Amino acid sequence: MADWKNLDTLKSFDELAKAKKVVVKDVMAGEAGAARVKKYNMPMAEGMSFNYAAKAVDDTVLDLMQKLADEAQLTDKYAELYNGEVINTGEKRLVLHQLCRGQLGNDVVADGVNKREFYAEQQKKVAEFAKKVHSGEIANAKGEKFTTVVQIGIGGSDLGPRAIYIGLENWAKKTGNFKMEAKFISNVDPDDASAVLNSIDVAHSLFVLVSKSGTTLETLTNESFVKDALKNAGLDASKHMVAVTSETSPLAKSSDYLAAFFMDDYIGGRFSSSSCVGGAVLSLAFGPEVFDAFLKGAAAEDKLATNKNILENPAMLDAVIGVYERNVLDMGTTAVLPYSQALSRFPAHLQQADMESNGKSVNRFGEPVNYKTGPVIFGEPGTNGQHSFYQLLHQGKDIIPLQFIGFKNSQIGNDVDIQGSTSQQKLCANVAAQIVAFACGKDDENNNKKFDGNRPSSIIVGDKLTPETIGALLSHFENKIMFQGFLWNVNSFDQEGVQLGKVLAKKVLAHETDGALSVYSDMLGI
């Protein structure tokens, strides 16, 4: 059994904190900088690579990072997780999202069920259902094919599947894998559901209701919205809806749905894209083969995360570097900057995955910790961000570590040659230029035009954004978050911080308020 200890009790962390700091600007200069970019690079799955040359590391620091990874037993803890230990101690649950995409260790049997088989079986049910929808065997009351799929879900039931859908929409259209348009309803703001419903042909739409508990207020409310719209169109709602839920939820056996697909309590919402939470909508939109390819990419990256050698484990190195930046270099925010318009909502998904997992102040035993934990995560695609918030990243008072992502090729392949280069070349030139600008800076007599440099960044480079590569990317960040949670010794798999707001909102709706809450409620017209 692994030994769960606070970060600040680890001897190797103390050594790492005391090690000589690497000045990124110095080490990235000249031919030594070029050699460094070649050296500090490691393969990821699906032909991608993780380059950390522009991070504040050298061989000494990397050795200490290996020691820290060893002392914190990071891969041992990962093994406990995928072998089915109760890693989510607060809620006394296993943590099994990786099992949706492959089996890295022993059979995991819980509640008398082999969980790998269970998840695979659910995905098989989804695949069969999707194929029947695509063939027209499952159709609307008039026997016409469904053309649109609408996911109703919020948080983990929305952000990941939506980011992946946007990530693959153009790829699917280009490669002939586009089966149905997908839309998403998430917010309890009635304008969200209304606008989506106004934009679709409900008679040819299939709705995927996603709520693990079957009790998420936003989602049930939006279900009613949809049922009203179907009823108003003279349609039988139960012929237009499927449920993704747990077997024990009130939705599981309801006759209100064409079908029900199951996940369980061992898959947290923010990690559920690989389960049928992502599987249903993505298999319907792009076909089950595409979703399988996504799982394959994620599984391959999961495998890399088992490597004990930190230089062969991109997620683990990325995690340790992030903790070093947060707890030694005192940097409080991280920007995720994909140079790919298709990844426009990927940072929003990572924002949830990371901040909800590691935005904690107590360790896994419920004891307050005396060090910083998860950072704020934000980001927008490049080159858009360059014309927006990069000013602060380059010349602001705080140093914000950067996580770039880039691909050599576009998804659609249309391009124009202007001033001797294609748009794709311009895109790639910009990300290369930014890394060096952030790292090396530029001196100038005019302080206003001076760049201090020393802004650390890493980049993940791939050939093209595909189902496999987006799967690998997702796995990389999920595992990075997991390893960081291990280092901070927090439970990355619960979210008690979302409860109080829910409780108070119920009080407002029940008109059981007093004090400040009562005045705010009046002000907002409730």
Active-site residues, by number, are 356, 387, 502
Question: What's the closest the beta carbon of residue 389 comes to a second copy, in angstroms?
Answer: 4
What CA–CA distance (Å, rounded) separates 450 from 444? 5
What CA–CA distance (Å, rounded) separates 382 from 339? 4
Residue type, 282: L
Question: What's the closest the beta carbon of residue 218 comes to a second copy, in angstroms?
Answer: 6
Give the residue with the Cβ less far from a second copy, 299 or 437. Answer: 437
Question: What's the closest the beta carbon of residue 383 comes to a second copy, in angstroms?
Answer: 5
Give the residue with the Cβ less far from a second copy, 25 or 125. Answer: 25
H or E element at residue 184? strand 181-185
Question: What's the closest the beta carbon of residue 241 comes to a second copy, in angstroms?
Answer: 16
Give the residue with the Cβ less far from a second copy, 91 or 117. Answer: 91
Q: What is the dihedral of CA 283, 288, 293, 294, to 10 degrees?
A: 20
Question: What's the closest the beta carbon of residue 441 comes to a second copy, in angstroms?
Answer: 8
Q: What is the dihedral of CA 230, 234, 239, 245, to 10 degrees?
A: 20
Give the residue with the Cβ less far from a second copy, 103 or 327. Answer: 327
Give the residue with the Cβ less far from a second copy, 49 or 248. Answer: 49
DSSP β-bridge partners for residue 242: 208, 259
Angle formed by the axes of helices 515-523 and 499-509, to 10°?
70
Tokens 């005192």, located at residue: 330
**What letter would DSSP give residue 241?**
E
Judge residue 483's burial from the number of C-beta atoms within 10 Å of its C-beta, 0-12 exposed, 13-18 middle, 19 or more buried. Answer: buried
Question: What's the closest the beta carbon of residue 469 comes to a second copy, in angstroms?
Answer: 14
Give the residue with the Cβ less far from a second copy, 101 or 360. Answer: 360
Return the beta strands (E) in 36-146 as ranges. 41-43, 49-51, 109-110, 113-114
Q: How many CB atoms lie within 10 A of CB 203?
A: 16
Structure tokens at 104: 């890295």
Gap between the terminal Cα atoms of the chain: 52
Strands 205-210 and 241-246: parallel
